[in-house]
């Protein structure tokens, strides 16, 4: 295929580029070049916030264009300016309205699309992805709309998929305990960046049309933590922390500083991480065992030189473990703030 990838310099885009090259496709990437594209890639540098950014790649007729944007204006101008036989747009589970249900399918109602060309902040993310989907679906050309769940594995700089295996590999003070949310049944899923990338290239080749939920099999937080402990390999054990205590300690859910990743304490979002992926699996999405994804993410964490953007620091981990008491003691809920 003569393939144009709008992106290619970040986490997923770099893997899509690698998969396309490995498949022998003629690949061109377009991005600002904030980070390098993988070796062997032809990178056209342009800023898609500019109206004429796609001019260098608009004179060709592409077999497929893969777009990773989150900005509706980028998607609208791609449809306006490019000639292609097929689109693949990387969308997100955030397109769906909030709901507590696990394993929702592609018929789940969507949030209202963003009218503006640019998001004003991450609170617009779901609406912006819906607006992008509308642009591609309304282009008159077939379009795969890839509604990706949490993406993990090697290169995940967010540390969302790498924190738990890293923490199990590096328990504080050799104490053999890792603080985890006391919510073992919380529904979890993540898709390995390499599996998603391979399927995106296949979707481009096969011209799959319509929306496809794309994440890994639904499991539980306990299941993820057991795999993370195994991958971490230090023999440490999970120490469940009461959710009320986590709240009092100011420990955040999902991602970011002072967080316990992959878990959400909002009842209306309990099923958020999971999706029914029957349609994508029937169309060829194959997900490797979770341990392989966590191993890849751990390798990235071991190479990290700066601060980790998600999870607890060692000091925060010590404070949480100290707050809950020693193993065998009844957990006591105390007034306590991290860092104070």
The site for ligand NAP (CB under 6 A) is made up of 7-13, 31-34, 47-49, 68, 70, 90, 92, 148, 150-151
- Report, in Å, the least distance between residue 166 CB and ligand NAP: 17
In angstroms, the CA 161 to CA 1 distance is 32
Residues linked to residue 66 through DSSP beta bridges, in sequence order: 5, 88
The torsion angles phi and psi of 297, rounded to 5 degrees, stand at -70, -35
In angstroms, the CA 339 to CA 259 distance is 14
The torsion angles phi and psi of 232, rounded to 5 degrees, stand at -60, -40
- Report, in Å, the least distance between residue 276 CB and ligand NAP: 16
- 80: which 2 tokens? 């306006």
Residues linked to residue 31 through DSSP beta bridges, in sequence order: 45
Q: Which is nearer to ligand NAP, 150 or 338 (CB)?
A: 150
In angstroms, the CA 219 to CA 206 distance is 29
- Report, in Å, the least distance between residue 32 CB and ligand NAP: 3
Q: Which is nearer to ligand NAP, 93 or 320 (CB)?
A: 93
In angstroms, the CA 223 to CA 189 distance is 10
- Report, in Å, the least distance between residue 332 CB and ligand NAP: 36
Q: Which is nearer to ligand NAP, 8 or 171 (CB)?
A: 8
Q: Which is nearer to ligand NAP, 84 or 310 (CB)?
A: 310
Q: Which is nearer to ligand NAP, 130 or 151 (CB)?
A: 151
- Report, in Å, the least distance between residue 302 CB and ligand NAP: 20
In angstroms, the CA 30 to CA 77 distance is 14
């Amino acid at each position: 295929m003569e393939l144009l990838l709008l992106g290619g310099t970040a986490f997923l885009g770099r893997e899509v580029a690698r998969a396309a090259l490995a498949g022998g496709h003629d690949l061109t990437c377009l991005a600002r070049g904030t980070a390098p594209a993988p070796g062997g890639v032809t990178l056209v540098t342009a800023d898609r916030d500019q109206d004429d950014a796609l001019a260098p790649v608009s004179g060709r007729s592409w077999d497929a264009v893969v777009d990773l944007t989150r900005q509706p204006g980028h998607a609208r101008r791609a449809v306006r300016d490019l000639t292609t036989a097929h689109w693949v747009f990387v969308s997100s589970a955030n397109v769906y309205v909030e709901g507590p249900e696990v394993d929702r399918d592609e018929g789940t109602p969507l949030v209202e699309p963003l009218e503006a060309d640019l998001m004003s902040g991450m609170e617009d993310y779901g609406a912006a992805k819906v607006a992008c989907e509308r642009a591609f679906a309304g282009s008159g050309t077939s379009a795969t709309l890839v509604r990706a769940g949490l993406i993990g594995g090697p290169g995940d700089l967010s540390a969302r998929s790498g924190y738990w295996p890293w923490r199990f590999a590096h328990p504080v003070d050799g104490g053999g305990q890792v603080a985890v949310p006391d919510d073992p049944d919380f529904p979890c899923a993540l898709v390995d960046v390499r599996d998603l990338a391979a399927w995106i290239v296949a979707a481009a080749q096969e011209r799959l049309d319509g929306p496809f939920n794309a994440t890994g099999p639904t499991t539980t937080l306990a299941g993820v933590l057991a795999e993370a402990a195994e991958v971490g390999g230090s023999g440490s054990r999970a120490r469940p922390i009461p959710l009320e205590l986590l709240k009092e300690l100011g420990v955040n859910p999902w991602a970011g500083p002072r967080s316990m990743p992959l878990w959400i304490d909002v009842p209306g979002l309990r099923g958020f991480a999971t999706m029914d992926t029957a349609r994508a699996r029937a169309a060829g999405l194959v997900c490797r065992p979770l341990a392989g994804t966590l191993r890849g993410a751990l390798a990235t964490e071991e190479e990290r030189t700066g601060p980790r953007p998600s999870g607890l620091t060692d000091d925060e981990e010590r404070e949480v473990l100290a707050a809950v008491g020693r193993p065998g003691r009844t957990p006591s809920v105390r007034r306590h703030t991290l860092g104070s």
